[in-house]
Structure 1
Amino acid sequence: MIIIICLFFLFASCYPYHRFPLYIQQTHQGYDVCIVLGSPSNTDGSLSHIQKQRMDHAITLYQKGSIQKILISGAAVANCFIEAEVMKDYAIAQNVPEKDILLEKYAKNTYENLKYAADLCNKHHFSKIIIVTSGFHIRRAGFFAQKFLTDFTFYPVSEKENQRYFITEYLRMWNTLYYEWKLK
């Protein structure tokens, strides 16, 4: 009986990785907009390590001319600092013109990040979209992106992340599946 339970958990643990496919392409040029998914700021309002990584990648794409606009998504979730505003301030400090930055300041989770960002993309008639997020976050973000966007790809900030993020993300994927099932 214990063997059957162990086998169940072994196979069940593979399910989220098949349910949440990767959406990564090698070309990173010719995009209308780059959506940068938020992450909580530090408690003092400064840019967190994850925010900096994501913004550095978006800024690099912008400086290379691969994207025309940067759309930053994220509300104040873990503290009183609005993620999108903290990340915008960093982009401006890195010489990205404010006119090329769009903010979505209401999303409190990945689902809302992509839903609200997709609404803004539709409003501005953006059709080619690249999404910047952490490598550990791509599968879950892709699950939601395919619900709201048609032509998109991901640009992971890193394939190798701290293992603790993968464990947390794995649990969040199961939580996502539960809520998807519950909404049906």
Structure 2
Amino acid sequence: MRTLKWTVLVLLVAVVVVLGGLETAHWTLPLENTQQAKFDSIIVLGTPSKADGTPSPEQRERVLEGVRQWKAGVAPVLIMTGGAAHNKWTEAHSMAVYAEQQGVPASAVIEEGQAQNTVQNIYYSNQILQAHGWHSAEVVSSKSHLPRAGMILSHYPAIKWKVDGSARPAEYGWWREAVFEFNEAQYCWTLRRKGFPKSKFMPQ
């Protein structure tokens, strides 16, 4: 019986150590490369829309945070980025429509509807920045997603950037958030060890 208790204790300690290591590695990733408070643009990273094309809870909160930052004068334009990566709805369009419903004029919203993942979100958004002669961006996403976004942005030294986290959707409990956090931490740990796969979308 005592042996079983010690085995369980050792396993619990090991789990805590592993989780702690993952979280430490996750949140020591870069979250900005500038101290500036104003930017040329606010980039809102996409996440799937609901089956009817309306914003999912996570997408809604990302857009609301982007709108809050826009109304605060952080940048004059919102770039909504995300293609139809998970269903038939283009994420950028769903986000743009919702932002306009929150009072942002259509003239202040740019839709980037090609990206299929976070790497492509940054790649195509950077093309928009270059086309307009812009050099800085605040990048909005879910809080657990910020370190991975920062890892990608660090491959673009010409951009002055920082990341900004959206609120947790009221529909999501702490357990669901913990699962998101763990999955992101594990993914970032792998990327730190192995690097990003080579592609035209990721500067090496």
Match of 2:115 among 92, 107, 125: 107
Name the CA distance, whole Å, in 2 between partners of 1:88 and 1:146: 26
User: Counterpart of 2:104?
Assistant: 96
- Equivalences for 1:31-180 in 2 at 5 Å? 31-149=39-157, 150-158=159-167, 162-177=177-192, 180=195
Name the CA distance, whole Å, in 2 between partners of 1:94 and 1:129: 21
Note the residue ranges of structure 2 that are not aligned, 5 or more in a row. Answer: 1-6, 199-203
| TM-score for the superposition, normalised by structure 2 | 0.75
Call closer, same or farther: CA 1:12–1:65 in 2, change over 3 Å. closer
1:181 Cα deviation from its structure 2 partner: 5.8
Name the CA distance, whole Å, in 2 between partners of 1:131 and 1:24: 12
1:128 Cα deviation from its structure 2 partner: 2.6
1:64 Cα deviation from its structure 2 partner: 2.2
User: Counterpart of 2:31?
Assistant: 22
Name the CA distance, whole Å, in 2 between partners of 1:175 and 1:43: 31
AA matched with 2:184: E
Bigger Rg, structure 1 or 2 = 2
| TM-score for the superposition, normalised by structure 1 | 0.83
Name the CA distance, whole Å, in 1 between partners of 2:194 and 2:44: 24
AA matched with 1:151: K
Name the CA distance, whole Å, in 1 between partners of 2:131 and 2:107: 16
What do residues 33-71 of structure 1 show as CA deviations (whole Å, max 9, x unaligned)?
Answer: 100000001112110111111111111122222210000
Tell me the secondary structure at the aligned position of residue 30 of structure 1: coil
What do residues 65-97 of structure 1 show as CA deviations (whole Å, max 9, x unaligned)?
Answer: 221000011011111100000000001111211
What do residues 133-161 of structure 1 show as CA deviations (whole Å, max 9, x unaligned)?
Answer: 11100100000011125311111114897
Call closer, same or farther: CA 1:18–1:36 in 2, change over 3 Å. closer
State the identity %: 23
AA matched with 2:110: L
Calculate the aligned-residue CA RMSD, in Å: 2.9
Name the CA distance, whole Å, in 2 between partners of 1:133 and 1:181: 20
AA matched with 1:154: V
1:24 Cα deviation from its structure 2 partner: 8.4
Tell me the secondary structure at the aligned position of residue 68 of structure 1: coil
What do residues 103-143 of structure 1 show as CA deviations (whole Å, max 9, x unaligned)?
Answer: 11111111111111111111111123111111100100000
